[in-house]
Each structure stands twice: as C-alpha cells, then as structure tokens.
Amino acid sequence: MLQEIIAQTGRKAHVLILPPGENSKNWQQLGEILEELLGLNLGRKDPIIAFGGGVVGDITGFAASMLKRGCPFIQIPTSLLAQVDSSVGGKTGVNSSYGKNLIGAFHQPAHVLIDTALLATLPKRELQAGYAEIVKYGLIDDPSFFAWLEQHGTEILHLEPKATAQAIATSCQAKARIVAADETEQDARALLNLGHSFGHALEAVNGYDGTILHGEAVAIGMIAALRFSVGLGLAPQAHLDRVAQHVRAMGMRHLVHDAVPVGIDADQLMNAMMQDKKNIAGQLVLILMRGIGQSFIERQADAGLVRQFWGDCLKHGW
C-alpha cells in the first residue's frame, strides 16, 4: 500500500527490509544501509522513509543524518511505542557493546505520519511495551494524565479508537513540548529518560536479545526509579503502590528481579548503568521522582546507594 501511494506521486520506492529486533540497531547494519542508499545515487533532497517500529526509525534516522551530511527522512511509526515516543524528537542512533543508543545524532524528521490502524497487527505484549511510554508522560509532570490512564488504560490496550487517539495525541504533545525547550538534551529533555537508566541496564545485561522489550524495561525502570526515590525519602510509598498497581493491572512486567538473567549480580547491573549517556564525567545522573507527576534530574546520584539498591532488588524480589 505504501509503495502504491508513493507511486501515485510519480516517485519510485526502493524497499530495504531490516532484520527484526533490537540487535539490528548496530554499526554493521548501519554501514550496510548507507552503502545501499549510496548505490541508489540519492540526492540530498530525496526523502528516506522509516516505516516500522522504533528500531527502524532510530537507525534510518541516523543513516539519513550521515548520508551526504544530511538527507530528509519521514517517520511512519507502526508500533505504539514508536508512535508515542521514538518517532518524535529527532533522536537517532544505534547500540554499542558498551550500551544502548551510545552512537547517534539529533536529526529531526521532516514529517511524522501516525496511523492508529497500523496498531491492529501488534501482539498484546508490544502494545503493553508501548503503553509504558504513555504512562511515562503522566509520571514526568502530568498527574491528571496518569489519573486518566488509570481509568482508560484497558481501553487503550484494546485499541478503542477514541481513548487510543487521545493517549497518542497527549503523549506526542507532551514530548514535543519538552523537546522544543531543549532539543539536544542539555537540560530538561533528560526528564524524558525517566525509567531509562534502570531500564537500559536491564536491556544490556539481557544482551538485547528480545527477552525484555524496551518498553517493558522502561516500565520496570520507572517503578525502580520511584522505589529508589521512596527509599531516599523523596517520594511517598503510596505513590509507588499506586503506580505499581496500575502497571500490574495492565498485565505488564514491573519487577527488576524477574528481568535479570541468572548469574547477573548488582555489580554487573551497575557497570551497565554507568554507560548511560546522561552521565557526566563519570558522575551518575538519574531521573528520580518526588511523586506522580513530579520527576526531576538528580545530577549527583550516589553510585554506592544505587549499587546497594540493585542488590536489594535481587535479594528481596523487587
């Protein structure tokens, strides 16, 4: 269908299909994409379309940023997670053996085209992973949106049109607002990484093998960030209980303990966390919470306390 639409504009589409999964977001795959694009003799104004989920959008956008020092690209996200998060904001990149998204560039898409009908093909697990990123916007700075999700989350996971459209629109507006104020993540944009410092570490120790999806890691990571905040006396226990209850009610994974492979210890989780690109000069930077809708950037997190927290998660089954 997409090829037919493109043909109607008088253009010819060349299709490049990437292997599925997070493991496709690597330097070798990026090189292969660039070589193929160069072989097509594209001009600097020829658009490159990222039609797929977050992996496709991230690596396609990065390729577009590099090709002939910058070509336009268009995001047509096909997963819920990509529609509410990764397709908006201009972050592009690939993974490294040292961690996730450590090689990349800021390159804004020329257009983002969202069609909720594409979500009908997704399995429930993928929808739940995308829903985690929707919850994130409520936890960052919009407690009324989180309360709305508590009432309408089931409708979204069942792709009820009105609720789904509202959730996606609210999420995109929230992200666009934050990105517009800090496009290259020098300050407030880092709030969008709520749950990601813990979540990326979980993805890393699982080898990006699909055992844990990105959205699942974010959901677990947000609860971990809130639990850590509660332990520091920054947030009330009741808020942690409320968020955990909602995530459980949506059938989503929420425990660090259940996402860590056998044989992985707190030191390995901590080492993975220290590769996070938000860290500055070896200083751990975390997004913590004072409560639902009250996230903030902690630029001098105590690495010793975080390492102890990882150990407590494994010990107590958190």
- The segments of the chain whose pLDDT lies below 70 read 281
Output the domain CATH number for residue 251: 1.20.1090.10
Residues 114 and 137 in one domain: no
Among the listed residues 22, 126, 133, 298, the single catalytic one is 133
Torsion from C-alpha of 193, 76, 31, 213, nearest 10 degrees: 40
Q: Which domain holds residue 70?
A: 2-118
Q: What's residue 37's pLDDT? A: 94
118, 150, 184 - which closes a domain: 118
Among the listed residues 100, 107, 196, 253, the single catalytic one is 196
Among the listed residues 25, 91, 239, 307, the single catalytic one is 91
Q: What's residue 70's pLDDT? A: 94
Instruction: Collect all residues with Cβ–Cβ distance below 8 Å to 304 and sequence separation of at least 6.
Output: none
pLDDT in tens, 246-269: 999 999 999 999 999 999 999 999
Residues 110 and 137 in one domain: no
Q: How many angstroms from the chain centroid is the CA of residue 272?
A: 17
Q: What's residue 104's pLDDT? A: 94
Domain count, the chain: 2
85, 100, 118 - which closes a domain: 118
Mark whether 100 is an active-site residue: no
pLDDT in tens, 62-103: 999 999 999 999 999 999 999 999 999 889 999 988 888 889
Residues 309 and 197 in one domain: yes
85, 118, 151 - which closes a domain: 118
Instruction: Collect all residues with Cβ–Cβ distance below 8 Å to 293 and sequence separation of at least 6.
Output: 138, 139, 140, 141, 142, 143, 144, 146
Output the domain CATH number for residue 64: 3.40.50.1970
Mark whether 152 is an active-site residue: no
Mark whether 158 is an active-site residue: no
Residues 69 and 137 in one domain: no
Residues 194 and 307 in one domain: yes
Cα distance between residue 29 and residue 230, in whole Å: 41
Residues 144 and 206 in one domain: yes
Mark whether 150 is an active-site residue: no
Does pTM surpass 0.85? yes
Name the 3-class secondary structure at 287: strand
Residues 77 and 99 in one domain: yes
Residues 139 and 282 in one domain: yes
Residues 34 and 148 in one domain: no
Among the listed residues 95, 101, 193, 206, the single catalytic one is 193
Among the listed residues 214, 227, 254, 307, the single catalytic one is 214
Residues 73 and 198 in one domain: no
Mark whether 290 is an active-site residue: no
CA nearest neighbour of 215 among 84, 313, 317, 312: 84
Mark whether 200 is an active-site residue: yes
Residues 248 and 131 in one domain: yes
Residues 172 and 225 in one domain: yes
